[in-house]
Amino acid sequence: MIRKTMIAIALAALSLATAACNTVEGLGDDIKSVGRAGKRAID
């Protein structure tokens, strides 16, 4: 019983960590695109 609970918790943590990485990566891409657009507007 305890082993199954620990496996379930580990899988949930892994899922959350994966989702967080994708979110941070997407945020980085958004920031880059804003920077590029600002540079084009200045030039």
Cα 18 off chain centre by: 7
Measured CA to CA in angstroms, residue 22 lies from 12, 28, 33, 37, 38 at distances of 16, 10, 17, 23, 25
Q: Say what the pLDDT of residue 14 is.
A: 77
One-letter amino acid of 4: K
Stated pTM of the model = 0.48
What's the token pair of residue 30? 């958004």
What does the pLDDT look like over 18-38, one tens digit per residue?
A: 676 667 677 788 888 888 888
- DSSP per residue, 1-43: -HHHHHHHHHHHHHHHHHHHHHHHHHHHHHHHHHHHHHHHHH-
Q: How confident is the model over 4-29, as a mean pLDDT?
A: 78
